[in-house]
Amino acid sequence: MHISSHTKPLALIAAKAHEVLISRLQSAGYDIQYALPSDETKWKQSVSEATGIVIASGIRIDEDFLSSAPALRWIARLGSGMELIDTAAAEKRNIKVVSSPEGNANAVGEQALGMLLSLMHKINSSCQEVIAGKWIREANRGIELSGKTVGIIGFGHTGQAFAGVLKGFDVTILAHDKYVFGFGNKRIREASLEQVLRYSDVVSVHLPLTSETRHYADDTFFEQMVQKPYFINTSRGEVVDTESLVRAFEKGWIKGAALDVLENEQLDSYSVEENNRLDYLLSLPEVLITPHIAGYTHEAFYKMSLTIAQKLEL
């Protein structure tokens, strides 16, 4: 039988966390241990002794994991996606689960706006032309955001943050959320999904990944886009069916796409088909892809850890 070497409760840190969270845990009387699943021996021992665990994306907390962590009392998810945590199983064991979507929502909103303006004003694509020695003005006339209709699908923390950073623009905002109502005001109109897709010049997705939202943006979704909008996804890659996105360009259903996430973000694991789809998208000047960095600012790094500390009442 393994006897714990810890006289204090143990907080297992399995993600990059800001010092503000670490120091608050220590002040609250926790021993701190850093471990990742890749360090199998240390991981198993740490999990078996941990009172709490701090994770980001990439670590699955399911029934098997919980069975190996008998002392666990809380799970802290830095960020927003809860798809890797079996929250029902944790609840049954009286394990508190907290996340920090408030911490990086503004960062995501700013990136969505930045990517959109880059696409509409051809900032990145024309810069690439200048790098290649081409000075082309006429073909690089931009489109102004002011006066347009922006559709936001999912009106939680990041959807609201995107609406917030749009305040400086004269835009009509149509927002749709299947589970949230009563948020409409002078600036924001509650709308059905059909209305968002029919009337929007820009459609931005802010959804969690669930069985209901996987491949939410499919052929039927893109085909309903009457205005040929710019499409933005800063939520989860699997919310979008990449094949359908490729078809949306081939069929002229959309003008451009800004993606901070991909269906498969392990580029070195790509099949021939996945590589072909990504190469096609990257070949289009009206596509911007960034490596899942929208919620990854220095400020968000601090705010997410602070939010976790506050929710754990440290």
pLDDT digits (tens, 9 = 90+) for 54-65: 998 778 899 999
* pTM score of the predicted model: 0.90
Give the whole-angstrom CA distance, residue 99 versus residue 31. Answer: 21
Per residue in 285-309, pLDDT (tens digit) is 999 999 999 999 999 999 999 999 9
225-270 pLDDT, tens digit each: 999 999 999 999 999 999 999 999 999 999 999 999 999 999 999 9
Residue 84's pLDDT is 84
pLDDT per position as a tens digit, 83-96: 889 999 999 999 99
Annotated catalytic residues are 236, 265, 292
Structural domains of the chain in order of their starting residue, each with its CATH number: 10-99 (3.40.50.720), 105-289 (3.40.50.720)
Q: Walk across the sheet containing 31-34 and list its strands.
A: 31-34, 10-13, 52-55, 74-77, 96-99
13, β-bridge pairs: 34, 54
Contact indicator for 74, 97 with CB cutoff of 8 Å: yes
Backbone φ and ψ for 277, nearest 5 degrees, come out as: -65, -45
pLDDT of residue 1: 41
* Mean pLDDT in residue range 94-103: 94
Query: Span 166-171, mean pLDDT?
Result: 96
Please, are residues 126 and 140 in contact by the beta-carbon 8 Å criterion? yes
Size (the chain), residues: 314
CA angle 39, 44, 45 (to 5 degrees): 105
